[in-house]
Structure 1
Amino acid sequence: MGSAAELAAAALMVLGFPALMLAALVPSIPAFAAAAAVTYLADHYLHRKGSYLVNRLSKVRAGLSIRFLIRQLLLILLLARLGLADDLIYYGAIACFIAFYGLQAPHGALVTLIRNRRRMPVATRNIDLASRIRIPDAPPRVLLHRSAEKMLHLDLAAVAGILVSASLESAVAGFIGIGVTVGLGLLYVLGLVPYVRGAKIPPNAEKVLAAVDDWLAEYGPETVLYFSGSKDSVYQVNMWLETMEQLDSKPLIILRERAILNNLAPTTVPVICVPGGVHLMNLDLTNVRVALYAANVGKNIHLLRVPTMKHVFIGHGDSDKLASVNPYSKVYDEVWTAGRAGRDRYAIADVGVRDDDIVEVGRPQLAPIQGWSGVPEGRIPTVLYAPTWEGWDGNPGNTSIVLAGENIVERLVKADPPVRVLYKPHPFTGTVSKEAGAAHRRITALVEEAAAERATDGRFTADAAARAAAKAELARIETRLAELSGKSGGNGTGKGDEAEATRDGVVDPAVHEEVARLRGEWNTAYWRSFGSHEHRVITGAEPRLYDCFNVSDAMVSDISSVVSDFIASGKPYAVTDSAELGVEEFKRQNTAVRAAVILSNGATELGGLLDAVRDPAGDPLAEDRGDLKRYLLGPDEPTSIEQFNTAVADLALKADTRNAGQEVPATGADADPEPEPDPEPATVPAHGLTAAGDDLAG
């Protein structure tokens, strides 16, 4: 759904066209001008916001070009109704709009040609292609960004001029406007021509791929993280970036979709985006020994076919959901899990993954999660409610948000002694189920209402000066981060286009380190910018989930990797049995909840969680959480990244052993001659026959 402002703009635009027709039929020049202004402004607003409503209008045959054409035809109708059908301005308007639409075809063709010719077969980050091939600057952004909208809006001069002429009964203003519209349209088309060919376009696909292969041969990547998915799934690869940066072997990230590359978090690891399967299969990856896969998708087959490397499923989270024991995992040489629990899941599921192929490596991403020794002095407890999304299958056990979410939040905000509530929903919430989306909005309203009530409660005060200082610090950090985003190259989205981002998208390590430091400072300033008692709804990428873990004293969630990750903190947690399986069955089916407070949909059991937070010494589940942490996530020593690097090295050795066994001994002129065997005495087989299969003598 669009925002209220977008819906209002769309409604005004849709209603504006009947108003235009009515004004043309009356006829009324002021009414027509007012209605035209509304449609122009509403159209521009929706495009500037990138509203999905623009695409919806196109699907009902009310696309951008049609809307402009209808407005122009209604202007012709207005002139006819004003009795100007025999006037020169009438014919001038018709000729203008025909010529103007005649310019749309070459304009659209040129824009498409430029974009296609500048789209390279691969896009990269942190790879030096500039020294190998010439990649020219992108055309000025003003020429290509929202180009169709810009071109069509050039008719504004003609429309305004014609309306002035109709009002003043003088053709001068109209023909000036017509000249401006046609002239600017022609200049726009001519301005695109130089960027269609020659030195303004990158080399062809063959040269680009050769340059990439040359870089691969020089760099010699040894461990690859491979990922394919939708734009919304980019978090699944982002969670592995820091781990890839800490590998002992030479890392490389291979992506399959440009949308993933454009949303990839900044990293110092070389990245290659190869949308074409044939191009990927032709890349020189002979040095790669280990390929890591974060998701089970069909495009994995394009790399799985390479026998010289070992293939590993590392996933993007560890939970008791069925996705964690996908039978597809049989295709990999190994499956890496965080701890013993992952191994046992596959054994219980019996989906064909052998126990010998499972390796426990911990979860390197959990290093930022801090431990807990109780609620800090002088602060009320903070409880994080982080439900997962509804999933694709409609299973009521997927999420608590529909059946239990409001009960959970209502009991938390009314708890006595009081607690602070942080509500951080899964980013996919409401994408499949309307009920989940509606529940999310009600929970958001509930938290915000409770926050407003607490703001007027005299028991809760905050240092206004400290909050103001923190907000000023946030502004300073955000300004500096914005400055650095251009310097670091980031993911390249700030560059002119994909080709230019490939050329210039090399992260400066010093800038990357400064950005990491500033993000840590931003996180600290963010939590200081409001009172430690204030309820909060947290959406978007920042602050990150693990940052929310660190400021919380307990969590309520559902069956998902969020629970497994939170267990690393050692803090009390509760999980909702939304499917109402019953406590014993729920624990039997879901390993991660065995040290949790189990909530029914009514959330009446929340008191047990809050008691554990307020009195850690009396927490009956504290020891169980420690045991479960080791079972789910492995031992604290050696560290997870050390375990991960060891697993990579061991598997690379297996790949080398396999490849050595496949080498064919040298033959031909350069090979050492085999010694001649001693001749055996000639014998004549019985009955004058040769041995089976031999030719007859003589």
Structure 2
Amino acid sequence: MTNARIAALAALGVGALVLAALGAPPLVVAALVAVAGALEVVGQLGPIALRSTLRTPDAVSRAAAAAAALAALVTTGVTAATVCAGAAAVVALGVVWLEGLVGYAWREATRVVERLPGYTAPHSLGARQQVITAGWYLAVVLATLTADGRSGELVLGLAALVVALGTAAAFVLVTRAAIRAKATVTARIAQALRSYDAPVMVYLSGPEGTEYQLGVWLRTLERLSVRLVVVVRETALARVVAGMTSLPVVSAPAMADLEGLQVETFRVALYVNNGAKNGHNVRYRELTHVQLLHGDSDKPSSYNPVTAMFDKIFVAGQAGIDRYAAHGVEIPADKFVVVGRPQVADIAAAAPGAPLRTVLYAPTWTGFNQDNDFGSLDPTGPAIVRALLARGWTVVFRPHPYSLDDARSLAAIEEIHQLLEADAAASGHEHVFGDRASSTMSIVDCFNLSDALVSDVSSVPADYLYSAKPFVITQVDDGPSDAFLDEFPLARASYVARLKEPGSLEAALDALEHDASSSEREAMRSYYLGDFPRDEYADVFGRAVEALVASRCPAPAAPVPGTPGGAR
């Protein structure tokens, strides 16, 4: 379910309980419960994962809906009909409680396994769960309607009890089947993995939204000549990833699940972040563990000491090696492999003498902590866009994906969208923003559409170096300029806009328009992105992965005399 649907579900259930407690007509309460039921059944049309705790919003909604039925019945008085309906509501509450206890079995039996050749699930629980959900809500609706006191209430009460008991029985039977199936799921996955014989595991773990970190690499990974399997620790994240790639995807939410995936065919594991659960997999020493990271920048995340635990660290250029030592993180030199930044291979080079007409504004996000907050979006983003529009430039606006989860950043994004809409109507400029810039187009598409860039300290300007086009990097604090350049060397190839210094943004945009730093950018391009010919650039990463796989393969046995290839 989407976050919006889950929130709506919780609001409907709690709303029904509040109205019932306030004495609202049972028909109104039943209507809210029915809408919640329809919403949940529709939300279960995709892969199923039962809730694991009563704290989750959909479980809260169900518990509140059943409690609403009881609250409505309390005001009606004791009759045979209300006793039956009350019993139905109690049974419904019991089912919600049981779900929290045995949800693990459902999740295990419905683990995400997509496009893994040779794997067949023990059975499908999706349709059964939808039937159980529909039956549960029907029982609660009937129990609530019994409180209306109209003729036929005994029939309604009995029907509610029968449906509730039938739903509970179905839940118990299906859960029993899921528990039995649980024992075979891991073995089936392991057998399919052995048959598929993929030497590379791509490991991902993180909170909701982390999929973009893998997305940065997917096109490159899908082009490799070796087979890969994507292993995702979080079930919800695995479902999202499965919809993003043609590669096989397997979820492994529990440690036992991950243990079961450690088949002998895997030789190399690739990682795209420093997620807290990476250590769960790095402990398997049969693999060569390789940190790729999802961006190569001067941010602290690109010289995190945790990276030292990996066997190999792939970096785009020498800058990726030097920044560790520059910040006191000592890592043996033989762990580093310069592979370029394959994602930039499709970035078009700047046309000589091309006029500056279109500028990409691609701010980063606020970061998980203050040390990683280099974002200009809040509160300066709208002012930056106004300055770009004032020069008559067409604007491409692409904020960081995580900015969409921050309230203050969202407000700035909305203000920028309004600015661009108003200017487009007034000037006729075809600004690019919203879903078109962030979803329909890739970041490379945005690079190629633009003539220049305004961004923050992040991997975006580093990647933009490949285009040889000019760019502005913002300095969001009021620290000394020299210290900023020392901390973030890439800024030496940019025009720095010190956002807390009056006039600095305009000065940087003036310099952008009359670009005179192309030679500095070229030198920095080799330093940050590797010194590889353009016609071979996209292949460097793949060769590095293939070499690691080959280094972990057992040496071929010597031919036996008298057999093909052996001496006679």
* TM-score exceeds 0.5: yes
The AA in structure 2 aligned to 1:154 is A
Higher relative contact order (CA 8 A, sep 6+): 1
Query: What residue is the counterpart of 2:566 in the other structure?
Result: none
SS at match of 1:328: helix
- In structure 1, which of residues 594, 599, 604 is the aligned counterpart of residue 503 of structure 2? 604
Change (3 A) 1:356 1:95: closer
Equivalent residue runs for 1:248-647 within 5 Å: 248-264=225-241, 265-281=243-259, 283-373=261-351, 381-395=357-371, 398-413=374-389, 415-416=390-391, 418-429=392-403, 437-455=407-425, 457=426, 459-460=427-428, 532-534=429-431, 536-538=433-435, 541-602=439-500, 604-607=503-506, 610-611=509-510, 618-637=514-533, 639-647=536-544
Change (3 A) 1:568 1:451: same
Query: What residue is the counterpart of 2:50 in the other structure?
Result: none
Change (3 A) 1:201 1:440: closer
The AA in structure 1 aligned to 2:537 is S
- In structure 1, which of residues 92, 97, 100 is the aligned counterpart of residue 81 of structure 2? 92
SS at match of 2:148: helix
Q: Determine if the alignment matches structure 1 residue 72 to structure 2 residue 59.
A: no
Query: What residue is the counterpart of 2:215 in the other structure?
Result: 238
Encode CA deviations 1:136-192: one digit per residue, 9 max, x unaligned.
2335166368x2x86145333344354261xxxxxx332232243234334434555
Separation in 2, partners of 1:19, 1:228 = 41
- In structure 1, which of residues 128, 138, 147 is the aligned counterpart of residue 125 of structure 2? 138
Residues 317 and 561 in structure 1, CA contact (< 8 A), matched pair in contact too: yes
Residues 254 and 273 in structure 1, CA contact (< 8 A), matched pair in contact too: yes
Query: What residue is the counterpart of 1:32 in the other structure?
Result: 25
Change (3 A) 1:127 1:181: same
Give the Å deviation of 1:233. 1.3
Separation in 1, partners of 2:476, 2:25 = 57
Residues 298 and 457 in structure 2, CA contact (< 8 A), matched pair in contact too: yes
Residues 113 and 196 in structure 1, CA contact (< 8 A), matched pair in contact too: yes
Residues 30 and 145 in structure 2, CA contact (< 8 A), matched pair in contact too: no
Separation in 1, partners of 2:388, 2:433 = 13
Separation in 1, partners of 2:293, 2:40 = 37
Residues 409 and 447 in structure 1, CA contact (< 8 A), matched pair in contact too: no
Give the Å deviation of 1:75. 4.1
Change (3 A) 1:350 1:411: same
Separation in 1, partners of 2:111, 2:373 = 42
- In structure 2, which of residues 150, 153, 159 is the aligned counterpart of residue 180 of structure 1? 159
Separation in 2, partners of 1:547, 1:8 = 36
Give the Å deviation of 1:220. 2.9
Query: What residue is the counterpart of 2:562 in the other structure?
Result: none
Change (3 A) 1:451 1:101: same
Separation in 1, partners of 2:4, 2:238 = 31
Equivalent residue runs for 1:201-240 within 5 Å: 203-205=181-183, 207-240=184-217
Give the Å deviation of 1:299. 3.1
Encode CA deviations 1:41-83: one digit per residue, 9 max, x unaligned.
7856986898xxxx99979x97542454245334442x35xxx
Give the Å deviation of 1:441. 0.4
The AA in structure 1 aligned to 2:496 is I
Residues 298 and 490 in structure 2, CA contact (< 8 A), matched pair in contact too: yes
Equivalent residue runs for 1:42-81 within 5 Å: 64-77=62-75, 79-80=76-77
Residues 81 and 155 in structure 2, CA contact (< 8 A), matched pair in contact too: no
Give the Å deviation of 1:398. 2.0
Separation in 2, partners of 1:565, 1:261 = 27
Give the Å deviation of 1:323. 1.4
Percent identity for Structure 1 against Structure 2 = 26
Change (3 A) 1:623 1:144: farther
Query: What residue is the counterpart of 1:684 in the other structure?
Result: none
Structure 2 residue ranges without an equivalent (≥5): 44-52, 558-568
Encode CA deviations 1:495-515: one digit per residue, 9 max, x unaligned.
xxxxxxxxxxxxxxxxxxxxx
SS at match of 2:349: coil
Separation in 2, partners of 1:391, 1:118 = 32
Residues 158 and 174 in structure 1, CA contact (< 8 A), matched pair in contact too: no
Residues 253 and 270 in structure 1, CA contact (< 8 A), matched pair in contact too: yes
Of 177-186 and 315-324, deviating more is: 177-186
Separation in 2, partners of 1:621, 1:271 = 45
Give the Å deviation of 1:448. 0.9
Change (3 A) 1:620 1:103: closer
Encode CA deviations 1:554-604: one digit per residue, 9 max, x unaligned.
221111112212222222211111112233332221122221111121573
Encode CA deviations 1:243-284: one digit per residue, 9 max, x unaligned.
222223333333322233111144333333333334434545
SS at match of 1:346: helix
The AA in structure 1 aligned to 2:85 is C
Give the Å deviation of 1:358. 1.5
SS at match of 1:555: strand
| Cα-Cα RMSD | 4.0
Change (3 A) 1:331 1:58: closer
Encode CA deviations 1:327-383: one digit per residue, 9 max, x unaligned.
222222221110121122123223121223211100112233333327989xx8232
Change (3 A) 1:375 1:185: farther
Residues 381 and 412 in structure 2, CA contact (< 8 A), matched pair in contact too: no
Aligned length: 541
Residues 374 and 613 in structure 1, CA contact (< 8 A), matched pair in contact too: no
Give the Å deviation of 1:112. 6.9
Change (3 A) 1:150 1:425: farther
Separation in 2, partners of 1:134, 1:18 = 42
Question: TM-score of the superposition, structure 2-length normalised?
Answer: 0.81
Residues 221 and 285 in structure 1, CA contact (< 8 A), matched pair in contact too: no
Give the Å deviation of 1:115. 6.8
Change (3 A) 1:7 1:576: same
The AA in structure 2 aligned to 1:151 is W
Residues 9 and 45 in structure 1, CA contact (< 8 A), matched pair in contact too: no
Change (3 A) 1:217 1:10: closer
Residues 417 and 433 in structure 2, CA contact (< 8 A), matched pair in contact too: yes
Of 35-44 and 401-410, deviating more is: 35-44
